């Protein structure tokens, strides 16, 4: 809808703030899957996932039972 909103010169359905929050929730869910921990929101500026997106997941300490790490998702390796 964002492109269409620009093309049609109208406000988008969702605000930039709503998009940011949705992305933050998705990234926190990925981080939780890697670490096995609850990830508090909002993400802080010193959080590698906040700074780097999914590339920042490789900087997290993966939990010993992390299926994400075992599967090698997001570049994580055992």
Who's near 21: CB < 8 A, 6+ residues apart?
none
Each residue of 19-59: pLDDT tens digit? Answer: 999 999 999 999 999 999 999 999 999 999 999 999 999 99
pLDDT at 2: 86
- Domain holding 66, by residue range, is 2-75
- Quick one: DSSP state of residue 56? G
| Length, in residues, of the chain | 78
Whole-prediction pTM value?
0.82
Cα(44)–Cα(13) distance, integer angstroms: 27
Please state, in angstroms and as integers, the Cα–Cα distance from residue 19 to each residue in 7, 15, 28, following that order.
19, 6, 14
Burial (0-12, 13-18, 19+ Cβ within 10 Å), 30: buried
- Count up the domains in the chain and report the number: 1
């Amino acid at each position: 809808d964002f492109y269409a909103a620009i093309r049609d010169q109208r406000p988008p359905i969702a605000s930039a703030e709503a998009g940011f929050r949705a992305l933050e929730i998705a990234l926190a869910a990925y981080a939780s899957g890697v670490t096995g921990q609850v990830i508090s929101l909002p993400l802080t500026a010193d959080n590698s996932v906040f700074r780097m997106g999914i590339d920042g997941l490789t900087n997290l300490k993966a939990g010993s039972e992390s299926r994400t790490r075992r599967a090698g998702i997001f570049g994580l390796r055992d």
